[in-house]
Structure formats: structure tokens, C-alpha cells
Amino acid sequence: MGEKMVLIHTALLCEAQAFIEYYKLEPVLKKQVYKNEKIVLIVSGIGKENIFKIDLAFNTYRVTKAFNIGIAGCNDTNVPIASLHSATHKIEKLPLKTVDTPQIINDENTTTMYDMEGKYFIEVANKYLKDENIYIFKVISDHLDDTIQKKDTIKNMIQKNIKKMDEYIR
């Protein structure tokens, strides 16, 4: 096990793009693993069956903090598209519900974010880290409609919020 690293996990490459550029991460495994001397980023693919790829990072590096970062739907139209929220820490905290297919039906009575990896990310990360070192940051991409954002739009929404997340990542 080498030096201490921060793990950033995204499901999609377009979610990772802003971090790859911002932190000048180099590809280790094209389209899947990127790193510099302090950060390792894993792009796993969407959903529960892909989240276990982050075990590799924990088994390869001395991960001290882990971040699951990506887009999420929200059932409250008062929550702006492209706004940053956390499911785990105080900044703009909102509850997160992890679902297996994109959510289009509001089944919660409170303002809730919906994603497809968060709960599973916490399950895996908890085997290696305490809760206070596990972060989930989501950028709101839709209000539970069937809007599919373009890859560039997703990258730009994350880029817009990267400085706020960087305070926790560094």
C-alpha cells in the first residue's frame, strides 16, 4: 500500500471529466481509472453491479476519504437544476434514495434526490472507512421527468460546482 489517496468515484465518464481536467489526472486504465499523486478516480458504470469496482481502489491504495459524485434526479421542482447537494455532509444536505432504474415517479413525501449508486457506494466504502470520511455529492440533473442530459451538459453542471467539492476533497 502506497501513499494516502483520496478516492473519487463516478458512474459516468462525463461526470468524471471535470475532475480529470481540474486535478490533471492521468489515465491508468483508459475510461476507467485516473490518478495523480493524491487522487485516484474510478469510473465504474451505472448501477449496483458496477459499484464493487471501487474495492479495487481500496485494495490498491491507502484511501483516506472516498467520494461518490454524480448527477441525481430530485422530486422537488424548487430545487434548481445544476445545484449541488450532499447526502452525507452538511452542505445543502438532502436525503438520497438509491434506485435500480431511473426514477420518474415521486414516491417520497419530502424533498429527495434519486440516484443509482449512492447506497451501494456507502456499503462498500464502509468496509474500509468511517462514515465521516465517506462523501456523496450529487448535482441535480432533472425533476423526475425523462430528461436525459447531454454529456457536455453533465460535465458543465459538475464543473460549475467543482470548487465547492474541492474544499472537501483536498
11-54 pLDDT, tens per residue? 999 999 999 999 999 999 888 999 999 999 999 988 888 888 89
- Helix 13-22 vs helix 151-160: crossing angle, to nearest 10: 40
How many domains does one find in the chain?
1
Instruction: Decide if pLDDT at 105 tops 90.
Output: no
- Read off the pTM: 0.93
Least confidently predicted of 8-12, 17-21, 92-96: 92-96
Instruction: Output the domain CATH number for residue 57.
Output: 3.40.50.1580
How far is Cα 128 from Cα 133, in angstroms, rounded to an integer?
Answer: 10
Cell numbers linked to 108:
417520497
Q: What's the pLDDT tens digit per position in 130-163?
A: 999 999 999 999 999 877 789 999 999 999 999 9
User: What is the domain range of residue 57?
Assistant: 4-169
CA atoms within 13 A on the CB side of 167: 7
